A = this chain, B = another copy of it.
Amino acid sequence: MSTALVANGDVAAGKPAMGRVASVYSEVQTSRIDHALPLPSVLRSSFKIADGPVSSAAGNPGEIAKLFPNLYGQPSAMLLPSESDTAPVQKLKIGVVLSGGQAPGGHNVISGIFDYLQDRAKGSTLYGFRGGPAGIMKCKYVELNAEYIYPYRNQGGFDMICSGRDKIETPEQFKQAQETALKLDLDGLVVIGGDDSNTNACLLAENFRVKNLKTRVIGCPKTIDGDLKCKEVPTSFGFDTACRIYAEMIGNVMVDARSTGKYYHFVRLMGRAASHITLECALQTHPNITIIGEEVAAKKQTLKNVTDHIVDVIRKRAELGYNYGVILIPEGLIDFIPEVQQLISELNEILANDVVDEGGLWKKKLPSQSLQLFEFLPQAIQEQLMLERDPHGNVQVAKIETEKMLIQMVETELEKRKQEGAYNAQFKGQSHFFGYEGRCGLPSNFDASYCYALGYAAGALLHYGKTGLISSVGNLSAPVEEWTAGGTALTALMDVERRHGKFKPVIKKAMVELDGAPFKKFASLRDEWAIKNRYISPGPIQFIGPASNTVNHTLLLELGAHA
């Protein structure tokens, strides 16, 4: 395998914790660096910005208006072809920050901003805040130049400037952000993040406006979970690549299941708050069973219901001679089951206040429904609930390996059915968790182009003096040149939640809609997938040739572009 040495600014600066330190790149990584990215045609020549109609909010517009007196109601901005460039001739000082978990394509958003500035506002400066929003507050940054950015083009990860989970929330923290903006004389700031980070970006935009700072703020939609989206922002970046990576693995496991003929593979997939990843992977691969958290919640299903459903399918398949299969489970399943939430909060209460005796007398304090559920859980899970607590003494729900729990519950239930004479085959469960390996893959061509356009448009929006918008690239089922670009008022995405007696603005997470096209398509096919084997193996992501420029099912179906 041929390799290429790629160094970056960190080497010279001797900074150990950041950046690609004299990395030896693989052949594929190297080839991706120089992959020429297509831009939507509107971004390739002269354009102007056209404002849309006055905007409202996703809910409670009155409260949102009070929270954002300067920004509420502002129109979206659309980039349109123009005879000549209408942006002011001006050098800009722009900052960029990555916020929250990794998603493939983050580096391309930054490349897009950088290239916009190089192309359209020569002499501009781009600062990368290090380690997430904390980098803004502590004014920890690096100046990004062409050489620095080069090795990160079309590469996975967030390590160019790294990310962080801090929030800019308190008056003190807003003051720190103002100081940084003043110190660096920032014209603009691009916040690349999920729902929370984009809410935060809008608060920052409002705050800078109130304080009469010139610094504008533009958000970019990032999260592999796919739960930050709306009409104007059809998808969040990283979702496409992560799903393809998981679907590759699922497809392989399916072929293995069919070849071996003796295992049920229980695959847990990332996505705690929403089940978009699980749904997309199901549409790509056709598993026998797919659990969608939103459906479980809507139907108020219990853990017993979920188990029984799986057992019923396994039983039916056994009758057909299939003692193997593949089952997809969203990471957040447990959070969608009301009775489990109930049990956990009661356990937290008991464990905080009572002595837990070995004889199990403490269990009498559990209401009967919760006690029944507790007794239904496999012993290992019972122990995990009792023993593994976070520093506040609470049950660590995130640590529960749902796929293993389900395997044990299914085993127990099948054993019962065996004794009743309703099942007489052999069940062997294999557990998988596909998580981290999907967050930092090389971005698919879709994510690479989408992110580059998001960044390029963010640069344009700042150049035109826009603030409080989220970069919006649309018409994504068409070829890249036909994509649209612009910005959507972040306040238009917001609603309020009551917290500690105050209204807090939130961009609501986009959940799987049970009457949306992707779920309906899945629901219309799943009975067939359950019994017949319709497995699809998507194979590894291709960068050249067949399947290298496809659009994922969720996006196509939501855009109505799929049969």
**Partner-B contacts on A (CB < 8 A):** 1-3, 16-17, 21-32, 102, 155-159, 162-163, 245, 248-249, 251-256, 258-261, 263, 265, 284, 286, 320-322, 430, 432, 436-442, 532-547, 550-553
- Shortest Cβ distance from residue A396 to the other chain B in the assembled complex, whole angstroms: 13
In contact, B259 and A547 (Cβ under 8 angstroms): no
- Shortest Cβ distance from residue A545 to the other chain B in the assembled complex, whole angstroms: 4
Q: Report how far A265 CA is from B440 CA in the complex, Å.
A: 14
Specify how many copies of this chain sit in the oligomer. Answer: 2
Q: Report how far A546 CA is from B30 CA in the complex, Å.
A: 9
Contacting residue for A26 out of B162, B432, B547, CB 8 A:
B547
Q: Report how far A162 CA is from B535 CA in the complex, Å.
A: 16
Q: Quick one: given A3-B536, A162-B259, A322-B16, are A252 and B441 in contact (CB under 8 Å)? A: yes
In contact, A27 and B442 (Cβ under 8 angstroms): no
Q: Report how far A322 CA is from B10 CA in the complex, Å.
A: 14
Residue of B nearest to A32 (CB): B539
Pairs A–B under 8 Å by Cβ, sample size 15: A16-B321, A24-B536, A25-B536, A28-B546, A156-B537, A157-B255, A248-B437, A252-B440, A255-B440, A256-B437, A430-B436, A441-B539, A442-B539, A540-B541, A543-B545
- Shortest Cβ distance from residue A258 to the other chain B in the assembled complex, whole angstroms: 5
Contacting residue for A102 out of B27, B32, B254, B259, CB 8 A:
B259
In contact, B436 and A252 (Cβ under 8 angstroms): yes
List the B side residues contacting A249 at CB < 8 Å.
Answer: 249, 437
Residue of B nearest to A160 (CB): B259
In contact, B538 and A540 (Cβ under 8 angstroms): no
Q: Quick one: given A3-B536, A321-B17, A440-B259, are A252 and B28 in contact (CB under 8 Å)? A: no
Apart from the given pairs A17-B322, A31-B547, A248-B437, 13 other A-B contacts in the complex at a CB distance below 8 Å: A16-B322, A22-B534, A23-B536, A24-B534, A29-B537, A162-B259, A254-B440, A256-B437, A256-B439, A263-B436, A442-B539, A544-B545, A544-B546
Q: Quick one: given A23-B535, A540-B542, are A156 and B436 in contact (CB under 8 Å)? A: no
Residue of B nearest to A1 (CB): B550
In contact, B28 and A539 (Cβ under 8 angstroms): yes
Residue of B nearest to A131 (CB): B261
In contact, A542 and B539 (Cβ under 8 angstroms): no
- Shortest Cβ distance from residue A327 to the other chain B in the assembled complex, whole angstroms: 14
In contact, B26 and A538 (Cβ under 8 angstroms): yes
In contact, A29 and B539 (Cβ under 8 angstroms): yes
- Shortest Cβ distance from residue A279 to the other chain B in the assembled complex, whole angstroms: 15
Contacting residue for A532 out of B21, B31, B322, B539, CB 8 A:
B21
- Shortest Cβ distance from residue A418 to the other chain B in the assembled complex, whole angstroms: 17
- Shortest Cβ distance from residue A199 to the other chain B in the assembled complex, whole angstroms: 23
In contact, A437 and B252 (Cβ under 8 angstroms): yes
Best-buried of A256, A533, A536, A551 by chain B (most CB within 10 Å):
A256
In contact, B102 and A442 (Cβ under 8 angstroms): no
List the B side residues contacting A532 at CB < 8 Å.
Answer: 21-22
